[in-house]
Structure 1
Amino acid sequence: MAAAPLYCVCRQSYDVSRFMIECDLCNDWFHGSCVQVEEHHAVDIDVYHCPNCEPQHGPSLMKKRNNWHRHDYTEQDDGTKPVQAGTSVFVKELQNRTFASGDEILQWMPGEQVTQRYLESHGWQYPIAVSNIEGLGLRLPQPSFSVKDVEQVVGGDKVIDVIDVARQADSKMKLKEFIKYYYKPHRPKVLNVISLEFSDTRMADQVVVPDVAQNMSWVENYWPDDSFFPKPFVQKYCLMGVKNSYTDFHIDFGGTSVWYHVLWGEKVFYMIKPTQANLALYEAWSSSPNQSEVFFGDKVDKCYKCVVRQGTTLLIPTGWIHAVLTSQDCMAFGGNFLHNLNIGMQLRCYEMERRLKTPDLFKFPYFEAICWYVAKNLLETLKELREDNCPPQTYLVEGVKSLISPLKTWLKREVTEPTSEVPDHIRPNRLIKELTKEIRYLEASSGGTNKPVKSQGSGGGQCPATRSTLERVCPARQARRAARRLREQQEQGPKVPSNLEILELHTREVLRRLVVGPLEEDPTFCPPVHGKFNMVSTASAAAAENPDTHLRLTLHNGRIIRDARRPGSSTASSPVKAGSERSSVGQLKSREEMKTESDQERQHSTMGGEEEPGQLSKERPTSPSTEEAIQGMLSMAGLLCPSKPDEAATSQEPWWSSPSRGSQGNSSSEAWDNRGPLSLGALSQEASPEADNYQYCDPSMSPPLHPSKRHASNSPPVSNQATKGKRPKKGMATAKQRLGKILKMNRHNGVFV
């Protein structure tokens, strides 16, 4: 394998996360940090000379500015091309424009009045301005806090996103480089920082978000700690902008609501109401190729200008379209949050982002995942309100209605798209079905007492709507919620297994414990075998002692002790005796008897003779009953073995514990070879559907099977009716003969091929 190529003066391999620039002379690549070239400076270089070529060819050649109103300032200014957003000409024109006063839409309120209860009662449709943060729950650094202080608490090496305002383009640079640029007496260009999220830094302890944002946030209230997806951090941003910084019209990702606080400086917001017509115009404008050449405020009826000065807090509700101009150097703090008041608008904004193919970097992290978590919690809230006979608020019902359709769409999209945001512990189909059921119940009872209330508050005798409010208002609701969850867990708990499922689980457990090992007749092996055969099956004993179970069919020691499928057949014809609850070694037949008996029965089945009295008829019904099917499966799995009277069993000795065999020194494999494998025809004769003639033996107590004695994966039919008394096919007999020869040739070897 060839070694990775090395680049730059540092001679390191390529790193996609680091900015690099190519020399136009030697065509070698260099890290910008190694040759002192920032990413936003690289666009200004026309011909770059690396440090190796610069001594011979001179310094790099810079681009020539030909205009001040285009993103590409090298274009010739012929007066035909319109002004683009963010350029110096655009900013001057914007400052000279006349707009509707922001006082028409701003709601000036004291901080202590801006609470979750107030917004739930009165709704949140217009921006709120707070001049005094007292009572708002907001905690910030002192106004003397500077950008140098940001570098100290955040770290100068932190890579941040910086916007080149004149080009409206994003680039990356280290925080310490931005601080150097900020304090330059002459700034060559306008750079703006608006996406420095500092929740993972030391500065996070110095900023506490407003209580209303904390209490209403979906992430803070509904995001589980054990979520597979990483928790979104969008609540704490530091915005550092220089004079004339501009951000064009946009809707915050996912339709989130925003809180801003200007620590020092000033910002000007140009705001547009999110009506249906304005949102349609915004989507068309965003997807147009000449977006930067059209001022969106001119396309709508009214655009409001709101000046936010030092010490003022601004809260913008869901979906408001806004642009921001930094009229003077400014530091501000802000954050985004989703909430229950405008779920429909949030979903519409998210779907608009998908249609516009917005990059993931500029979308709310795991928006669909948080919606699934919210849907699950809102379902619990609706159930609790219904149990309390308390009508839910109108905004909550409308929000759930608007949430159901996107959830269905996202669930269908999971089939075609590999990325899935459906949480693992949520059953999406059931969740959607139950949400739909709750909405139908509310619609059916809308004419009665359960009609959703128009007032959205939790005071004045109204019922609280959000989960956090429910917990604060009435602690008794927590107990009822816990009881309801317990009932749901019991209902959704593991279902009572059927008889065939029990048989399947038992068979798997037996096969798991069966291992191929030497069956040497030595003192270290025989006592455990005898001990195992003298033990009682725990499951069988428990079923015999406790008949009050959910099992429809209960087997114990090969007998049906309880059958709830038919009336009057709950127990077997003969009671279970205490003496028969143990499987002794003497109850098993000797190998010679089993061979003789199987040969006789095979002869009988082949010749088709008359049945003796007491024997079962070989004529089987074409559709066997469940009991017969289970008995047949038990016999095929080796879970039934014929039982003999106790007095006859005591005189017989199991073949594996015979002293004569042990004295001869023959291995267990040789003992098996002397008899040969039991034919399935004989096994079908011995495994009669009459449960009274058989004793259930726990396979885990029996000795491990030799590889040649294990059942084939594709065994022939058990019933003689299926084989119609025919001899095995010639090919099958030949295979058995070959297997026997191989075993006899290798019976003294430790490894079978």
Structure 2
Amino acid sequence: MAAVPLYCVCRQPYDVSRFMIECDICKDWFHGSCVQVEEHLAVDIDVYHCPNCNPVHGPSLMKKRNNWHRHDYTEPDDGSKPVQAGTPVFVKELQNRTFASADEILLRMKGEHVTPRYLERHGFNYPIMITEMEGLGLKLPPSTFSVKDVEQYVGGDKIVDVIDVARQADSKMKLSEFIKYFTKLHRPKVLNLISLEFSDTKMSEFVEVPDVAQKMSWVENYWPDDSFFPKPFVQKYCLMGVKDSYTDFHIDFGGTSVWYHVLWGEKIFYLIKPTSANLALYEAWSSSPNQSEVFFGDKVDKCYKCVIPQGTTLLIPTGWIHAVLTSQDCMAFGGNFLHNLNIDMQLRCYEMERRLKTPDLFKFPYFEAICWYVAKNLLELLKELREDNCPPPTYIVDGVKALISALKTWLKREVNEPTSEVPDNIRPNHLIKELTKEIRYLEEEPVSGSKPMKSQGSGCGVGPGSNSSARRLREQQRHAPKVPSNLDILEQHTREVLKRLEVGPLEEDPAFCAKVHGKLNKVSTASAAAAAESLEDNHLRLMLVNGRIIREAVQHQRRLQGDKSPMDSQGNSSSEAWDNQGLPSPLSRSHATSPETEYQYCDPSMSPPLHPSKRHAPNPPPVSNQATKGKRPKKGMATAKQRLGKILKLNSRQSRVFV
């Protein structure tokens, strides 16, 4: 086996994750950290001499600065080349520019008023500035929290991405090195740290994101714990920039919305509306070779200037194009989140990133995977709202339509680019088909008596984490008083009979038995009279015979023929009388030969009673409607007649009486 090449004074193999520099004399390679050369400073070296060559050839030679307005400051300054973004000349000119005031588009609100319910009703289309934090749910460290505290709780060895502002170029360095640079009085360069995500560090305990971002976030609400893909962490960023740091115009990855709080210092935002015209201009500008030489704010109708002082929070909606200038040393906290209110715009921004070939490092992690998870959850939401006869709000319908189109496109793309982010537990074609079906229901068969939703809000709460009005509607319907039907009356009558029958084995004491029988007779008489009155109003005259329900029409026919039931000594009909065991005596005992009843009496001592479901042809099948026809009752939902028959069967075994 060939020996692994060793490099540097530490004699270690090559490591792609560590910055290395080549000596221009001996041509050997060295780790920057081993020879005290930082990556962002290496670009300033014209000729590098390693520690071994330095004693012989002298120190390294540095590049000569020829201009202050170009990223490559070694270019001759002939005055013909335009100013590039981020350079000292650019920053000075930017501060002297005049812009439209952000008051034209800014919503100033109290923290307690910024809720998911408010945004669902009024939309989230314009930036929101919050100066009164109470009720926002945002938790932050005190304003005395310093960059050294960040190093303590995050760890100095953490590798971070730092922007060299004058060159608008990225480089990597240890957090401890950046903190050392930040705390120096003399800074040879302007460095900006804007991508320190600290959710997995001890500093995370000091920060809680605003409630509105937490409750609306797709990742927080829809990302499953058992997902094959790692959960995206984009909710907690710490941003540390020195004076004159500048980030050029951009749209946050995946069209995410942003919450942004200045702990100390000051930031200036330059905001542009995400209109179709502006987005088209932005895409053309981003792909142009001279992008850094053109100030994008000059290409649109209006660019708004928004100053964010210490202690202020800014919420930026989906798709807003913005640049940021740090007017003084600053520490800020922020986070990104996807949500249901602007799904279409989020997808447009993602597709734009793909066309611009944005590196994965600057894209939302597993954006397509989270969209599949969201589509699955929105399908369940649409079905629930349809079952509750509650129309979904417009932003959900429009968002689902945009999702369907995007999901179809991604599936087609899989043929040529097999980089699937479809979760294993999702059937993509079936999901798209079901979503399309729900949209068709809404367009072709609108909910009767309901008006189409024209505003962002809805009578049915559908936002993640919000209280659903659909659920409240179901609760109201569940507890609303119902008008009793004939079947309800039958059920009530059956329950009363069952209560009277649920008496334990009687003692052999004759006196006690007589007392119980007397009470049962009184109850029977009273309930029979009450039942007769109520049944007469509902035109339902019922009688139980051996588990079968016989309509009073049979008895009425007999009365017309002169066959009237004799009354007992207490004035009760024989069909309502109670036998000597405290059980009702069926009318069929005295009219066993009647052809209408088709009843044959048998001695209980000779054969056990049959459950109604076990009896032969004379019993008619259970009453059913079109929905239940041909289906067996679900477990635990036996009919009242079946329950009564079972109780009678059990009672007869104990008391030796068959009804």
Query: Could you tell me how far 1:468 is from its partner in structure 2?
Result: 2.7
Within 5 Å, which residues of 2 pair with 1:314-713?
A: 314-446=314-446, 448-457=448-457, 462-470=459-467, 474=471
In structure 2, relative to structure 1, the CA distance for the partners of 1:301 and 1:226 (3 Å cut) is same
What CA RMSD, in Å, does the superposition of the two structures yield over aligned residues? 1.5
- Equivalent-residue separation in structure 2 for 1:26 and 1:450 (angstroms): 81
Aligned AA for 2:393?
A: Q
Distance in structure 2 (CA, Å) of the matches to 1:449 and 1:395: 21
Q: 1:100 maps to which residue?
A: 100
Where does residue 301 of structure 1 map in the other structure? Answer: 301
Matches within 5 A, 1:73-112: 73-112=73-112
- Residue 195 of structure 1 aligns to a residue whose secondary structure is strand
Counterpart-to-counterpart distance in 2, 1:237 and 1:136? 18
- The separation in 2 between residues aligned to 1:184 and 1:301, in whole angstroms, is 41
C-alpha distance in 2 between matches for 1:450 and 1:74: 69
Instruction: Provide the rounded CA distance (Å) in 1 between the counterparts of 2:275 and 2:21.
Output: 46
Deviations 1:265-307 (A, max 9, x none): 0000000000000000000000000000000000000000000
Shift of 1:445: 2.6
* Alpha-carbon contact 1:164-1:192 (below 8 Å) kept: yes
Deviation at 1:3, TM superposition (A): 1.2
Give the equivalent residue in structure 2 for 1:16: 16
Deviation at 1:206, TM superposition (A): 0.5
Matched with 1:64 is 64
Aligned to 2:209: 209
How far apart in 2 are the matches of 1:169 and 1:377? 40
Change (3 A) 1:388 1:447: closer
- How far apart are the structure 2 equivalents of 1:476 and 1:341? 23
Aligned partners of 2:474 and 2:399: how far apart in 1?
A: 23
Contact 2:462–2:468 (CA<8 Å) still a contact in 1?
Answer: no
- For the residues of structure 1 that align with 2:54 and 2:418, how far apart are their CA atoms? 49
Aligned length: 476
CA contact (8 A) 2:319 2:349 kept: yes
For residue 436 of structure 1, give the secondary structure of its aligned residue in structure 2.
helix
Is the 1:397–1:452 contact (alpha carbons within 8 Å) kept by the matching residues of 2?
A: no
- In 1, the alpha carbon distance for the partners of 2:296 and 2:259 equals 23
Please give the alpha-carbon distance, in whole angstroms, between the structure 1 residues aligned to 2:388 and 2:448: 15
| 8 Å CA contact 1:195, 1:237 repeated in 2 | yes
Q: 1:477–1:372: structure 2 CA closer, same or farther, 3 Å change rule?
A: farther
In the aligned structure 1, how far is the partner of 2:199 from the partner of 2:178? 20
Distance 1:30 1:371, change over 3 A: same
Quick one: distance in 2 between partners of 1:451 and 1:227?
39
Aligned to 2:7: 7
Task: Report the Cα offset of residue 451 of structure 1.
Answer: 4.5
Give the Cα–Cα distance (whole angstroms) in 1 for the partners of residues 369 and 412 of structure 2. Answer: 15
Report the alpha carbon displacement of residue 415 of structure 1 after superposing the two structures with TM. Answer: 2.1
Contact map agreement 1:381 1:467 (CA 8 A) in 2: no
Cα gap change, 1:148/1:442 in structure 2, threshold over 3 Å: closer, same or farther? Answer: same
The residue aligned with 1:188 is 188
> 1:570-626, CA deviations, whole angstroms, 9 ceiling, x for partnerless residues?
xxxxxxxxxxxxxxxxxxxxxxxxxxxxxxxxxxxxxxxxxxxxxxxxxxxxxxxxx
Aligned to 1:199: 199
Q: Does the 8 A contact of 2:190 with 2:245 survive in 1?
A: yes
The one-letter code matched in structure 2 to 1:14 is Y
- How far does residue 412 in structure 1 lie from its aligned partner after superposition? 1.3
Conserved? CA contact 2:461–2:468, under 8 Å: no
* Paired AA for residue 13 in structure 1: P
Shift of 1:469: 2.5
SS at match of 2:326: strand
Shift of residue 466, structure 1, vs aligned partner: 2.6
1:225 lines up with 2:215 in the alignment: no
Instruction: Give distance in 2, aligned partners of 1:117 and 1:144.
Output: 34
Q: Structure 2 regions of 5+ residues with no counterpart?
A: 478-659
CA distance in 2, matches of 1:449, 1:417: 47
Query: Aligned in 2, Cα 1:11/1:234: closer, same or farther, shift over 3 Å?
Result: same
Q: TM-score, normalization: structure 1? A: 0.62
* Contact 1:381-1:466 at 8 Å conserved across structures: no
1:456 is matched by which residue type in structure 2?
Q
Q: List 4+ stretches of structure 1 deviating above 2 A.
A: 445-452, 454-458, 466-478
Are the counterparts in 2 of residues 445 and 451 from structure 1 also a CA contact under 8 Å? no
Cα drift, residue 419 of structure 1: 1.5
Indicate if the aligned counterparts of 1:442 and 1:450 stay in contact, CA closer than 8 A: no
Provide the identity percentage: 83
Matches within 5 A, 1:723-742: none
* Paired amino acid for 1:336: N
SS in 1 for 2:283: helix
What is the CA distance between 1:8 and its match in structure 2? 0.2
CA contact (8 A) 2:32 2:38 kept: yes
- Indicate if the aligned counterparts of 2:8 and 2:31 stay in contact, CA closer than 8 A: yes
Residue of structure 2 equivalent to 1:27: 27
The alpha carbon displacement at 1:477 in A equals 6.9
Task: Report how far residue 151 of structure 1 moved.
Answer: 0.4
Q: Hey, what does 1:261 align to over in structure 2?
A: 261
1:121 matched residue in structure 2: 121
Partner of 2:465, secondary structure, is helix
Residue identity in the other structure for 1:156: G
Q: Deviations over 1:144-174 (max 9, x none)?
A: 0000000000011111010000000000000
Cα deviations by residue, 1:705-750 (Å, 9 ceiling, x for unpaired):
xxxxxxxxxxxxxxxxxxxxxxxxxxxxxxxxxxxxxxxxxxxxxx
Identify the residue that residue 273 of structure 2 maps to in structure 1.
Answer: 273
SS in 1 for 2:261: strand
Residue 471 (structure 1) shift: 5.7
Corresponding residue for 1:610? none
Answer yes or no: is the 8 Å Cα contact 2:32–2:39 preserved in 1: yes
Aligned 8 A contact 1:393 1:456 in 2: yes
Local SS of the residue matching 1:331? strand
1:497-518 deviation digits (Å, cap 9, x = unpaired): xxxxxxxxxxxxxxxxxxxxxx
> The residue matched to 2:70 in structure 1 has which SS?
coil
Residues 396-432 of structure 1 show CA distances to partners (whole Å, capped at 9, x for unaligned) of 0010011101100101112222321000000000000
Partner of 1:750: none
CA drift of 1:472 comes to: 8.6
Alignment partner, residue 628 of structure 2: none
Query: Contact 2:388 / 2:470 at 8 angstroms: preserved in 1?
Result: no
How far is 1:476 from its partner? Answer: 9.0
Give the C-alpha shift of residue 115 in structure 1: 0.1
Partner residue in 2 for 1:234: 234
Determine helix, strand or coil for the equivalent of 1:469.
coil
**Unpaired stretches in structure 1, ≥5 consecutive residues:** 481-753
Q: Distance in 1 between matches of 2:56 and 2:325?
A: 46
Equivalents in 1 of 2:224, 2:452: separation in Å? 29
Which residue identity is paired with 1:469?
A: S
Per-residue deviation, 1:355: 0.1
Secondary structure in 2 aligned to 1:50? coil
Amino acid at match of 1:383: K
In 2, the alpha carbon distance for the partners of 1:198 and 1:477 equals: 42
